[in-house]
Amino acid sequence: MPQFNFVDGTVTGAIVQAASITGGVRVHIDPPHTPPRQLAAAPAVFVGRDTELSELAVAGMAPMTVLTGPGGVGKTTLARRWADEIRTRFSDGQLWIDLQGDSEDTAVDPGDALGCFLRALGVPAERTPSRSPERAALFRSLTAERSLLIVLDNAFSVAQVRALLPGADASLVVVTSRQRLTGLIADGAVTVDVRPWGVDDAISMLERLLGAARVEHERAHAVALARLCDGLPIALSVVAARLAMRPRLPLATLAAELAEEAHRLRGLRTVEGVSVMASLDLSYQNLADPVQAAYRRLGVLPGREYGPGPIAALAGSAQLGADAIETLLQANLLEEVDTDRFRQHDLLVLHARHRFETDEPATAQALLRRTALEWYLDSATAAERTLTPYRQRPFSYARHSAPAFRRSFEDRAQALWWLDDERSVLFTASSKALESGWYDLAWHLCDVLWPLFLYKKHYRDRITVDERGVTSAQRWGNGWAEADMRKRLGDALAEAGQSENAERALRLAVDAYRQAGDGFGAVDAEERIASLYRDDGRENDAVAIYTRVLAANRASGDARRTSLTLIRLGSLLCTTAARDEAIDHLLEARTLLQQLAATDPYNGQRAEIALARAYLVRGRLQDAAQAAARGRDGMRRLGSAFEQAQAVEVLARVAQAQGDTGCSRGHWQQALEIYDRLGSARADAVRAELGKPEMITSSGAAPEQSGASQRQ
């Protein structure tokens, strides 16, 4: 009987054991499997991204990192660069796949992606399970003991990514996606937002692609191109490609072309088919119909930043608006810049407008544009009524859309803050209404800003808005509205030192009021003319008009009008021999306004400050200091910095009269800081006070030349 000797111990490689062999033997040996090396090379051109790379260095400690941002922002390029830096940390190789997640229709099926990965890990095609769950299980088993860098580029959904996760934390998964994929946080993911480039990085990229000399020769236009592209790498790449193809084309020519908003997106494409429009369209087409509608309607909003209110108004309901916000944030088509405060990048705004004009029914477009502007009017009106409930006009706005979701305000401070925070948006809204031929809406959007100008001044903006209001009223054909806005314009021009123009506007206001049958309005405008005379040194003429107006207001029984005229007349008389009469007028005004404090606290504080000046002129320093302190504190509470500074001026003069130069200088300095911050012409007069010899001697230094005077 034959004897067999079996191999014992550890064997490396192939071995054949047999009792007997007849004929030839062929042994097929699979070559040893090479670890996958699927990563593309690092990008040849790479600039900036210091912030993101720092965040990735920390995020890389987690088992998964998600790079998220809008289409064309450079997520894949950044992933390639970072993966190239860290690839040596993963001894078992790297896997990479483009999941084509621009839309659900093109997204790679997870089962197909797993098949690619299994083959890369050495599993023959015939041994690859046919069903996706079995492929996922095999993939987890094969990767359980391995250290792999796995890049899932352009992912579409959380489910797509989850199916491709390895079996152990020794590996790192890097995901790029236009979606935020917040559901992956439960799987240990850390999110890194990929932001558009700043101007410096955008210029660096153009220098790398076009040459530093060409960019430096037209640097200002290169900066303009960077801003027109909103720092979006895909847009800058298109610009660079067009310029590289035509080396003699001036940067200025392309910048001028792209400056036209209507043509910008079409201009950001190359003959090879690379297109910013196409990239953004992919993101848009992936949205559900209600979210698409909300997205494109964002393009008609008058401002660059907005809260949920106008979004809800355009979406049709608060719930639809909230759902749209959440989806657009997830899709990186909207950015939350503060709590309940959102914005879009410039190119997204242009894309939204394009989709609005293309996809929104033509019959609905005008109403939707007007709905957006009416939301701001509704909210500003709520703020106005909170701040100045005593304001009256003989008509109200006849809205065209259903009132919905306007802002509400808890108190005066919140209402004033909102008006000031939204002032540029409200200015734009009135301009858009005027351009659209909605003259009544344009006038109301100008008129509703009165409380903002009352408390915050904004002199330059006020003249622009009041002039727009006059134009709107004229085109509207409303004589009273024209008269009222001309009166406001006269006040604004007077504050700007344009006396002749101010008087012309006020006389036109008087005539317009009379033609509209508003005698009280005409008297009010005449009173403004008296104030002009007062400021021009024509005191007697001013006193005569004030006295006549005061009698008319007393006869009308209007306590508020009467008190305002008493303030003006009393303030003027305190500079004449009738100083005691001035104090009597101002005390009466204060008493009347104390009874109206619930609706008009502002003018009550004005009366205190005017009374403080009258006491100062009369030499009643203690009374002056007390009244000025009350006025200062009251105006500070109301958020009216200009009038606060006026009260501080009185305190400075009181301290000076009492011989306390140090205290006086402190008050003057405080007033100067406020005026400089507001850009008020009063700053120069206060600076002159601080430059007087006694002030310099007390401090050892001249006043700093800062703020408005430096700019002059």
Strands 335-338 and 189-193: unpaired
More confident residue, 708 or 37: 37
**pLDDT for the residue 701:** 47
Distance separating alpha carbons of residues 205 and 216, to the nearest angstrom: 13
**pLDDT for the residue 232:** 87
Checking if the pLDDT of 47 tops 60, the result is yes
Rounded to an integer, the average pLDDT of 654-679 is: 93
- Model confidence at 2, pLDDT cuts 50, 70, 90, reads very low
- Model confidence at 272, pLDDT cuts 50, 70, 90, reads low
Contact, 324 vs 284, CB < 8 A? no
More confident residue, 232 or 648: 648
Rounded to an integer, the average pLDDT of 429-450 is: 97
**pLDDT for the residue 29:** 42
- How many Cβ atoms are within 10 Å of 641's Cβ, its own excluded? 19
**pLDDT for the residue 466:** 97
| CATH 3.40.30.10 at 279-360, yes or no | no
- Model confidence at 19, pLDDT cuts 50, 70, 90, reads low
**pLDDT for the residue 480:** 97
663 CB-side CA count, 13 A: 12
% of the chain residues with pLDDT over 90: 66
Rounded to an integer, the average pLDDT of 248-258 is: 88
Q: pLDDT for 600-621, tens place per residue?
A: 999 999 999 999 999 999 999 9
Checking if the pLDDT of 707 tops 50, the result is no
Burial (0-12, 13-18, 19+ Cβ within 10 Å), 129 = middle
Checking if the pLDDT of 328 tops 50, the result is yes
Rounded to an integer, the average pLDDT of 394-404 is: 83
Q: pLDDT for 536-589, tens place per residue?
A: 889 999 999 999 999 999 999 999 999 999 999 999 998 887 778 999 999 999
Three-class SS state of 66: strand
- Model confidence at 155, pLDDT cuts 50, 70, 90, reads very high
Rounded to an integer, the average pLDDT of 479-508 is: 95
- Model confidence at 704, pLDDT cuts 50, 70, 90, reads very low
Distance separating alpha carbons of residues 216 and 127, to the nearest angstrom: 60
For the chain, the average pLDDT equals: 88
Checking if the pLDDT of 182 tops 80, the result is yes
Rounded to an integer, the average pLDDT of 61-84 is: 92
DSSP 290-331: HHHHHHHHGGG-SSSEE-HHHHHHHHTSHHHHHHHHHHHHHT
Neighbour-count burial for 449-460, b at 16+ CB within 10 Å, e otherwise? bbbbbbbbbbbe
- Model confidence at 291, pLDDT cuts 50, 70, 90, reads very high
- Model confidence at 438, pLDDT cuts 50, 70, 90, reads very high
Nearest in space to 416 (alpha carbons), one of 373, 445, 450: 450
Checking if the pLDDT of 271 tops 60, the result is no
Least confident of 157-171, 196-210, 491-505, 697-711: 697-711
Least confident of 10-19, 261-270, 278-287: 10-19
**pLDDT for the residue 702:** 45
Domain boundaries, the chain: 50-193, 199-273, 279-360, 627-711
Nearest in space to 146 (alpha carbons), one of 117, 113, 120, 169: 169
More confident residue, 260 or 511: 511
Q: C-alpha distances in angstroms, 201 versus 217, 222, 236, 686? A: 18, 12, 11, 44
Q: What fold is seen in the domain 50-193?
A: Rossmann fold (3.40.50)
**pLDDT for the residue 611:** 96
Contact, 131 vs 110, CB < 8 A? no
Checking if the pLDDT of 624 tops 80, the result is yes
Report the run of H or E that residue 670 belongs to, with start and end.
helix 661-678
Contact, 519 vs 513, CB < 8 A? yes
**pLDDT for the residue 22:** 54
Q: pLDDT for 255-267, tens place per residue?
A: 888 888 767 777 7
